[in-house]
Amino acid sequence: MSSTIASSALRRSQLYRRHIEMGAEFITLGDRVVVSHYGSNQEKQQAQHLGLADLSTLPRAGFKGPGTPDWALGLAMELPVQPNRATLQSDGTLVARLSQSELLLASNLDGLSQCIASATEAQLAESVYSLPRSDSHSWLVLCGSQAATTLAKVCGVDLRAHKFANGEIAQTSIAKINGVIVRNDLGETLSYCIFSDSSSVEFLWDSLLDAMAEFEGAAVGAQALRDCR
């Protein structure tokens, strides 16, 4: 169900008012509100060129501690062998290994994740600690052929496609904000998930849109990302 104004009873992004000002149409996924689109019928093409989406209300989870890898494997997660790599699970969940003993999990674009549900419902093993990533970290997606060029304006890491492989992770500064960048392509479309401190998401959103302006980038909704897959 889409609507211009979402119920205050639902989980909304800290960027909600900015989305309203930009003419966003919303969709509810369970108890969460996500931007579906901004009224354009060309958003898939925009995303393929240069788009920025806010997925901050979709489910995320984190786990840390020496026992985390073995515990996660026991839940049938497929883990990257090395830190700073991410792997897509069969249900579309992104599992990012931030260190030997820390995992960040992000749901698929429909807000569904059996992987996250199983992990959050399971009893934690000894030396495994839960991290509330849905509350602590925002989740933006920068995508399109000009995405790496845009990131070069605000990030010192070389994130060009031939230097930064799909599934690779950079823990770095983006517009002077500490964050985690995960390359997670949408089909043939270059795409980066950006996780950062929720308290700074308004500044990061504005900074990225400003950096994108030179390349005719624009905000896009979750539907455009789905269409690119």
158 vs 50, 149, 163, 174, 199, CA distance in Å? 18, 9, 7, 12, 26
Q: Is residue 228 part of a domain?
A: no
The pLDDT score that the predictor gives to residue 4 is 47
Please tell me the distance from the alpha carbon of residue 120 to that of residue 91, in angstroms, as a whole number: 16
Split at pLDDT 50, 70, 90, the class of 118 is: very high
Q: Is the pLDDT of residue 7 over 70?
A: no
Q: Is the pLDDT of residue 1 over 50?
A: no
Split at pLDDT 50, 70, 90, the class of 39 is: confident
Please tell me the distance from the alpha carbon of residue 107 to that of residue 148, in angstroms, as a whole number: 23
CATH of the domain at 86: 3.30.70
Residue 89: partners with Cβ closer than 8 Å, 6 or more residues away: 77, 78, 95, 115
Over residues 121-145, the pLDDT tens digits come to: 999 999 999 999 999 999 999 999 9
Q: Is residue 168 part of a domain?
A: no
Q: Is residue 86 part of a domain?
A: yes
Q: Is residue 23 part of a domain?
A: no
* pTM score, whole prediction: 0.96
The pLDDT score that the predictor gives to residue 67 is 97
The pLDDT score that the predictor gives to residue 128 is 98
**Structurally, how many domains does the chain consist of?**
1
Q: Is residue 85 part of a domain?
A: yes
Q: Is the pLDDT of residue 104 over 50?
A: yes
Q: Is residue 90 part of a domain?
A: yes
Torsional class of 30: left (φ above 0), alpha (ψ -120 to 50), beta (otherwise): left
Taking the mean position of all CA atoms in its chain, how far away is CA 54?
A: 8
Q: Is residue 224 part of a domain?
A: no
User: Structural domain of residue 90, as residue ranges?
Assistant: 61-132
Amino acid found at 32: R
Q: Is residue 117 part of a domain?
A: yes
